[in-house]
Structure 1
């Protein structure tokens, strides 16, 4: 009988993987972590200094418990590692009364009994004058348990805490293949093979390489930053909080104010220039096409920002057909777990998703319903 190298392995230490590694190690489990780059690298989906954090999840009411558990776990991780990860500044969900953003946020709040503040168009114009073209039928719902999260800091803190708890990390170690065998799961690397009882596969945009057959679309999505054309203080994060705005034109913009180490961040929900990519071959050079749409939207809806970006960086998301995550056991195999299909809104849930993966691996009941994330739902 071959000897196991460990009970568990986590393949890919980005948002989901780093937190799954931490949650397993915190339980005293013997776990290996594999990362083809270094934790906190800028080559996948978990970089760019900031991400939105919010609890009123318009994408699905079932994500509210995931977000709530995530902020609790991040506070625990912050205390454990002396790291700042999440700053709560609130988040404005804006749009016409019947827009997708407003309806989605209202449904999430109602499903979980979360009190919210609703602003009229006049109140938006008075309290948040940075937003232009606010129509008379526009409203906003303020999510108070929301703000800005730090992706690189979170990944580094989670992997550091996992290592301190006994996890063994193999960085700069690409995984070539993950194969179910009679004894468990074989993890193949260029240096050697590893044998574990269970593998959690979370390599972000590279998931389709290791788990072919799942409907995942790695997509190049540049990140963009902007500076005010005058009076920088008006766009600091304490005066210009995070926001998601439904434009009523089949698109949305999102963003947040500046801080000491970054400018104002603004991005579109979608852009015709976004392209499907092989994550190994993604173009990291920047052209004017990468920010033409967002610059136009900034000019129209945030007119006191200079529409010429102060910074642009290549990034990727991995979309699924219904824009919900893939989380669970593919094909029902008790030796495999996967987490992926971020669809552009997973990072805020990273600790909660990592906790669920650890719970499933250890035979525990998940803390919340995850049926809508079942990776087998498209079969």
Structure 2
């Protein structure tokens, strides 16, 4: 495996907003990845919760190849069969009555926030435009979504940002109750904060948010970009709590690696996106919708979803056992195959070092901030890959303990 480009090429020609690792993956199959030099890695990163069925799943590649021979793109001057079939499936499997397609999680959230304001404008007044989000939340990198996100570091240097947005502590019912008013158009919550450190919302908090939104005629938006499509052991995380939002956003795993996103909504709310009020050139393109439909059919089965629960316990219990010797982590948390291992106090700020050392052992992991190691492997990662990956994770823990 050779190429005329390498990691140095990135520094020469790419905008420096990323700092990728030195090795460049060139091939993936299932939960294994190979780099330019032929080195093999076990993938516990999953493209940040995107590769729900691993790399090059044969049924997904077949769906893509089939659609590629039929129809690639039309624009939204016309609709297409794969988009209609996928939208119908999403409505059948969730609370949703209407679907809007986009290309990324940020675009789906942008649509959700715009729809919330438009709905309030149409049904109440222009004063009802305020959006409440949570500290440490993450909703995307557009100017609107980064403003709703609760991490100031992502807004720095881009001010002035859109007004009418406030933030409250996550899982703090009293704070939300004090902040929400009749001028609130929406409350936005991640059922599990992903970039914020893999922190789950309590059912009590979600129920309180639902009640407060209903009381103040505000919409409840669940950002399920990272938790959706089987990641937590349910098709969508809201199904664990039985707390139903008015709007839900989904992306990442929806296409299994092919860029696609969706905003799901009740019919009552969706009506405010009248003709011409919002749009996307590529949103709902036949290629992405064909792949996503096949992925939904595979993931939304007892075999896959129950397997996520089993894999969660296997991975977290084994890491907890490793941790008894090293005491690297002060908490191991999450749901399904969205797992966060928070570093102990003496190792705070060194999550990136763990990621780099893991790569040396042949393992791909992620971080969630400076202090949390994030694991988001394929939902169908084979047993042998779990065992071998955990052995490499244990090796990484010992290396980290020596070098941190």
State the TM-score, normalizing by the size of structure 1: 0.29
- Normalising by structure 2, we get a TM-score of 0.27
Judging by fraction of residues, say which structure has more helix: 2
